[in-house]
């Protein structure tokens, strides 16, 4: 088994990042966590997390008040879910950040 772990910064001011952790064997992802984090109010805030905790692939939408919405992912295997997660966060992080900031300002 091989563990993969890295942080990928999304913005030039380094206030937005994706944290990736995965375990794979050969070409098969066995488990993963891909999380978008933003530096808001001088602290790194987890905003969207895709993971395989609880035995299935899902997305956690983490709200400013600490509540979490779970949405299952329906993919054939974790490889497809992992790919989707990384692509979605790279594409949509600005939207997720803005929505979270709106919660902060309420």
The pLDDT of residue 88: 98
In eight-state DSSP terms, residue 54 is G
Is residue 32 predicted with pLDDT exceeding 80?
yes
Where do the domains of the chain lie?
2-104
- Hey, what's the torsion of the CAs at 18, 19, 21, 26, to 10 degrees? 40
| Stated pTM of the model | 0.94
13-24 pLDDT, tens digit per residue, is 999 999 999 999
58-92 pLDDT, tens digit per residue, is 999 999 999 999 999 999 999 999 999 999 999 99
The pLDDT of residue 106: 73
Tell me the C-alpha to C-alpha distance, in Å, between residue 76 and each of 70, 80, 81, 84. Answer: 19, 7, 8, 12
């Amino acid at each position: 088994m091989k563990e993969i772990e890295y942080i990928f910064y999304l913005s030039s001011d380094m206030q937005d990042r994706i944290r990736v952790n995965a375990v794979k064997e050969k070409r098969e992802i066995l488990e993963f966590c891909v999380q978008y984090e933003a530096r808001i109010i001088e602290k790194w805030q987890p905003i969207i997390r895709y993971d395989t905790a609880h035995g299935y692939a899902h997305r956690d939408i983490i709200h400013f008040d600490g509540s979490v919405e779970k949405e299952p992912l329906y993919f054939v295997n974790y490889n497809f879910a992992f790919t989707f997660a990384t692509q979605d966060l790279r594409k949509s992080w600005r939207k997720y950040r803005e929505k979270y900031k709106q919660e902060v300002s309420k």
